[in-house]
Amino acid sequence: MLTEFSHVFAFVILAIIFIAGGLVTSKLLRPKNPNKLKLASYECGEDAIGGSWVKFNIRYYVVALIFILFDVEILFLFPWALVFKPMGWLAVAEMFTFIGILVVGYIYVWAKGDLDWARPKPFVARLQDVVQVNTLKVTVGSEELESVG
């Protein structure tokens, strides 16, 4: 018995057949003459330097996430601008509430320092910061050595 969701399943099967069929057919038909230059990574005709597995700074993630947040906000502003006139002051109040919530988030991000690219090094507590350090004076012969104990 076909339920509504089985149509989705049919689409999934069709999509797999369609893509796999294209890939297999082209695999069978295409000429295959690989050589060292052809298999090299494309770098506009230059010799590629280094691998393509480059590490990206993790800070891109935070910035991208914040960007998407405000991008979506702009997205919501467009339909709002269309219904702005018939809805009147209610629309203004609604949108300002919405933006207000986002502004709070913006201020939070700003205060946390996530918008600064060059952030100060995080404070890592060392033993000396936690434990009270006593300075012992040890005398060896005539010389006075300072040691931490």
Partner 1 sequence: MLVTSVDTLFNWARLSSLWQMSFGLACCAIEMMSTAASHYDMMRFGVIPRPSPRQSDVIIISGTVTLKMATRIKMLYEQMADPKYVISMGNCSNCGGPYWEYGYHVLRGVDRIIPVDVYVPGCPPRPEALLEGLMRLQEKVREQGKAVDLEV
List residues binding partner 1 (CB under 8 A). Answer: 29-33, 35, 37-38, 40, 42, 44-47
Question: Nearer Cβ to partner 1, position 47 or 129?
Answer: 47
Residue 32 CB, shortest distance to partner 1, in Å, is 8
Q: CB of 26: closest distance to partner 1 in angstroms? A: 11
What is the smallest separation between the CB atom of 45 and partner 1, expressed in angstroms?
3
The enclosing H or E element of 95 equals helix 89-112
- To the nearest whole angstrom, how small is the minimum distance from the Cβ of residue 60 to partner 1? 24
DSSP-derived letter for residue 116 is -
Question: In which region does residue 141 sit, left (phi positive, over 0), alpha (psi from -120 to 50) or beta (all else)?
Answer: left
User: How far apart, in whole angstroms, are the C-alpha atoms of residue 89 and residue 20?
Assistant: 55
Closer by beta carbon to partner 1, 30 or else 121 = 30
β-pair partners for 135: 148
Q: Which is nearer to partner 1, 32 or 126 (CB)?
A: 32
Cβ contact 19:27 at 8 Å: no
